[in-house]
Amino acid sequence: MSAQRWDTVVVGAGPAGSATALLLARAGARVLLLDRAAFPRDKPCSEYLSPESTRVLERLGPDVLSAVAAASPGRLTGMKVVAPSGAGVVGRFTNFSFALPRTRFDTILRTAAEAAGVEVRERVKVEELVYDSGAVAGVIAREARNGKRDTYRARVVVGADGLRSVVARRLGGVHTTPPRRIAFTAHVGDVRGVTELGEMHVGRPGYVGFGPIGNGVTTVALVVPFAEARRGARFFEELDRFPGVTGRFHARHTVRPVLTTGPFARWSRRPVAKGGGALLVGDAADFFDPFTGQGIYSALRGAELAAAAIVNSLTTGATLESYTRARRREFTGKWILERMIGLAVGWPGLIERVVARLRRRPELADLLVRATGNCLPASAVLTPGVLAGLVL
Specify which residues 354 forms β-bridges with: none
> Quick one: three-class SS letters along 151-220?
EEEEEEEEECCCCCCHHHHHHCCEEECCCCEEEEEEEEECCCCCCCEEEEEECCCCEEEEEEEECCEEEE
Quote the CA–CA distance of 190 and 248 in Å, as a whole number: 9
Quote the CA–CA distance of 307 and 239 in Å, as a whole number: 41
**Predicted local confidence at residue 90, as pLDDT:** 96
Say which amino acid occupies 302: G
377 CB-contact burial (10 Å; exposed 0-12 / middle 13-18 / buried 19+): middle
**Predicted local confidence at residue 3, as pLDDT:** 58
- Provide, rounded to the nearest whole percent, the portion of the chain with pLDDT above 90: 74
> Residue ranges of the chain with pLDDT lower than 70?
1-3, 289-291, 293
**Predicted local confidence at residue 46, as pLDDT:** 85
Specify which residues 286 forms β-bridges with: 267
Answer whether 122's CB lies under 8 Å from 39's CB.
yes
Answer whether 46's CB lies under 8 Å from 293's CB.
yes
Which domains occur in the chain, in start order? Answer: 3-72+101-177+265-336 (3.50.50.60), 75-97+179-261 (3.30.9.100)
Query: How many other CB atoms are there within 10 angstroms of residue 347's CB atom?
Result: 14
